[in-house]
Amino acid sequence: MPKVTYIEHNGTTHEIEVPTGENVMRGALYNNVEGIVGECGGALSCATCHCYVDEAWMDKVGGPSSDTESELLEQASAEVKPNSRLSCQIDMSDALDGLIVHLPESQY
Ligand code: FES
């Protein structure tokens, strides 16, 4: 099963197995990772699943998957950077095994 490493703002690291086809937001929620809220449950309407994709993974993960994701990111409470994504829009695959995401200090 592919793994994702979540790095909280304070440096706490969680290496979690996230099933293929599941998204990065749920991987965090189901494993009590602090720093991702996922208020809308992945319906692409809240921006509380904001994360920063590690630079080394940006080519594989890519930018926002839709105009809606881009627009929602603009409403994220933490600073939006070129590597910002909404984690509910990143679906796990074997190609993303080892993915590293950094979490903002707060989602509000
Ligand atoms: Fe709401 Fe991702 S969980 S936009």
49 lines ligand 1 (CB under 6 A): yes
pLDDT of residue 42: 97
Question: Mutate which of 37, 39, 66, 77 to test ligand 1's pocket (most atoms within 8 Å of Cβ)?
Answer: 39
Provide block-wise average pLDDT over 10 residues at a time, the chain (108 residues). Answer: 97 98 98 96 97 98 98 96 98 98 97
Residues pairing with 16 in the sheet: 4
100 lines ligand 1 (CB under 6 A): no
pLDDT of residue 92: 98
The string of DSSP letters for 14-76 reads: EEEE--TTSBHHHHHHTTT-TT---TTTTSSS--TTEEEE-GGGHHHH-S-SSHHHHHHHTT-
64 lines ligand 1 (CB under 6 A): no
pLDDT of residue 21: 96
Confidence (pTM): 0.97
- Measured CA to CA, the distance from residue 9 to residue 65 in angstroms comes to 24
pLDDT of residue 62: 97
- Measured CA to CA, the distance from residue 77 to residue 73 in angstroms comes to 9
